[in-house]
Structure 1
Amino acid sequence: MKRVKIFLIIITIIINGQLAFAIDNGFDYALFKKIEANLMCTDGCGMYLKACSNNTAEEMRKLIKKLLIEGKSEKDIYAYMINIYGEEVMAAPPVSSSFNILAWVTPFLGLLAGALIIYIALDKWVFNKRAKKEPDIEIDEITKAEFDPLLDEEIKKHF
């Protein structure tokens, strides 16, 4: 019975600790996680802030928590982070800028254009030559008449 009580006390402490961590001075933990997933670490490691565990990432997380506690909205936090670190802090480019959209779409358009050029070149050089290939020498009726007796002779020799 004593073990059950100890077990229940431990479970209660764990649950209360998780609730306290989720509330953590009144900021929205789900929003924190969303913001963290949309930002990149700025120390040059190239990792998402969510996955990075170095000092720079920890400082960025503290800054996000501080801004959330102050009551800043998600857009305000993104704007603040872009103001400090530049647009490269965002994991995906903002849709508001047409240059960013163009920068993301252009490589795919380039690949499609290259594939189309290769297909047209192959079609012109390889596939059409096979379809249009004609015999080099045309056999007319006179030539055929000359070779028919020779062909009959050869057939008689071997059969």
Structure 2
Amino acid sequence: MNIMRKSSLIILTVLFLLSLFYSISYAERLDRALFKKIEANLMCTDGCGMYLKTCENATAQKMRKDIISMLTKGMNEKEIYGRMISVYGEEVMAAPPVSSKFNIIAWAGPFVAIIIGFIVIYICLDRWIFNSRKAEAGTDINEKEIEQYEDYLDEEIKKHY
């Protein structure tokens, strides 16, 4: 009976350790996927202008360690983004948060301004060219001037031919 107890205790311990090892490795895989997703949505803040997932400088390494630390503490994605924004400012986000209308306007504003600028330039050029063509077509020469020019032209032709 004593051997049976010891063997069952050893088997239970081994099973417990295996299940613990499996759950840790499974949790690491889930955290790695979440880590990669968070890393892809953040920017390095040292002024290089690179995504965190591609940057390899000291600031990026520190930011990665902070993210891993927050993941091991059990923080979710929104909490991590909130923490990173509170530490580094909103420029840490690779895309503007949808909740902030100012950020969306700030991101879309230059593109809208360029499009409006092209439209204004097109309208101005169109009116300028159209009006100049209309002015050229609208210049009427009266019949008296036409006769003078025809007479002058006839004289010049007679001189040379």
Same fold flag (TM > 0.5): yes
Amino acid at match of 2:49: G
- Residue 37 of structure 2: aligned partner: 34
| Residues 99, 145 of structure 1: alpha-carbon distance in 2 compared, 3 angstrom cutoff | closer
Q: 1:95 aligns with which of 98, 103, 117?
A: 98
**How far has the Cα of 1:139 moved from its partner?**
3.7
> Is 1:117 equivalent to 2:120 in the alignment?
yes
> Is 1:64 equivalent to 2:59 in the alignment?
no
| Residues 117, 145 of structure 1: alpha-carbon distance in 2 compared, 3 angstrom cutoff | closer
**How far has the Cα of 1:35 moved from its partner?**
0.4
Percentage of matched positions with identical amino acids: 53
| Residues 146, 73 of structure 1: alpha-carbon distance in 2 compared, 3 angstrom cutoff | closer
TM-score by length of 1: 0.70
Is the Cα–Cα contact under 8 Å of residues 49 and 57 in structure 1 kept in the other structure?
Answer: yes
- Residue 52 of structure 1: aligned partner: 55
Aligned residues: 137
Task: Return the alpha-carbon distance in structure 1 between the equivalents of residues 95 and 50 of structure 2.
Answer: 13
Task: Return the alpha-carbon distance in structure 1 between the equivalents of residues 133 and 46 of structure 2.
Answer: 58
- Residue 105 of structure 1: aligned partner: 108
Runs of 4+ in 1 over 3 A off after TM superposition: 141-148
- Aligned-CA RMSD value: 3.2
Structure 2: runs of 5+ lacking an equivalent: 1-21
Task: Return the alpha-carbon distance in structure 1 between the equivalents of residues 121 and 148 of structure 2.
Answer: 47
Task: Return the alpha-carbon distance in structure 2 between the equivalents of residues 143 and 80 of structure 1.
Answer: 84
- Residue 14 of structure 1: aligned partner: none
Tell me the secondary structure at the aligned position of residue 93 of structure 1: coil
Structure 1: runs of 5+ lacking an equivalent: 1-19
Tell me the secondary structure at the aligned position of residue 47 of structure 1: coil
- Residue 133 of structure 1: aligned partner: 136
| Residues 51, 142 of structure 1: alpha-carbon distance in 2 compared, 3 angstrom cutoff | closer
**How far has the Cα of 1:95 moved from its partner?**
0.9
Task: Return the alpha-carbon distance in structure 2 between the equivalents of residues 81 and 110 of structure 1.
Answer: 31
Tell me the secondary structure at the aligned position of residue 55 of structure 2: coil
**How far has the Cα of 1:126 moved from its partner?**
1.8
Task: Return the alpha-carbon distance in structure 2 between the equivalents of residues 46 and 138 of structure 1.
Answer: 65
